[in-house]
Amino acid sequence: MMRRGRSQSRVNKNIMDNFNDETYIRLKTNVQNLVGRNSHDKMKTIFDEACGKWALKHEEGIKLYRKNDDLTKECDDLHNDKKAMTIKIEELEKRVKTLIEESETQRNKTDDELSGEDSQCLKQECEELANEREAMTSKIKELEKRIRDLVEESDEQTHNTIKELEDKNVKIKSMETQLKEIKVRETENYEDFTKIEQERNKFENYIAALKKSIDNHKQEHIENYEYIEAQEQEIKGLKFTISTLEKTIQRFETLNHK
């Protein structure tokens, strides 16, 4: 069973390798380009499966066309045979008619003029011609029946072939529509991606500017903090000096009161 499956796979592969339909080649190139850019493996699998069935139907269609040609040729040959036999029957009928006329003429003669042997030969020849005519007529009926059967078979196969071709064209149009939609989506996605990329670049630049501004503010804050700290130290020093002065003043005031 597996061997048969492998054999069928090889046959299908050979059919696909030799499938030179222009539409298939164009679609295959488009799909390969799309898959190459976007890695649509599922789309490629569906495309290969659909085209595999398409190629098999195409091969069957070619076989049906060839068989139809053979049937048409056979019909033509049978028509020619029928025509030849019809002509031969007409000739036989003329000959039988002539023999009958001769027989009637001789029968009207006296018995002395027509010998028994001649009469017997004439009768036998008439019977042979009648039998041959009957055989020819029967053969013509057989040929006519065979022609009718072949015409019906040919018409049925032609109808089936046309229907399969119509189905194939519908599938091709559907695939072309899908590819167009994929191309449109690909273009839209590319445009969206470009816009997003531009927005991202803007945000990155804005973030970089904010970061720089924050660093500047930090530096200013550090400098301000250091300045404030120095001022506070200076204020502490001044307060200490004032406190010392106040204590000194208080001592002087105490001494003066004494």
**pLDDT for the residue numbered 212:** 76
Going along the chain from its start, the domains and CATH numbers come out as: 2-165 (1.20.120)
Element (H, E) at 229: helix 116-257
**pLDDT for the residue numbered 46:** 64
Express each pLDDT in 23-60 by its tens digit. Answer: 666 666 766 666 665 555 666 666 666 667 677 777 77
| Spatial contact of 99 and 125, defined as CB atoms under 8 Å apart | yes
Q: Is the pLDDT of residue 2 over 50?
A: no
Distance, first Cα to last Cα, the chain: 134
pTM: 0.35
Express each pLDDT in 168-193 by its tens digit. Answer: 667 767 766 776 776 677 677 667 66
Write the DSSP assignment of 144-200 as a string of letters.
HHHHHHHHHHHHHHHHHHHHHHHHHHHHHHHHHHHHHHHHHHHHHHHHHHHHHHHHH
* Nearest C-alpha neighbor of 75 from the set 152, 177, 176: 152
**Mean pLDDT score across all residues of the chain:** 68
Compute the average pLDDT of residues 131-141.
72
Q: Tell me the CB-side half-sphere exposure of residue 44, using CA atoms within 13 A.
A: 13
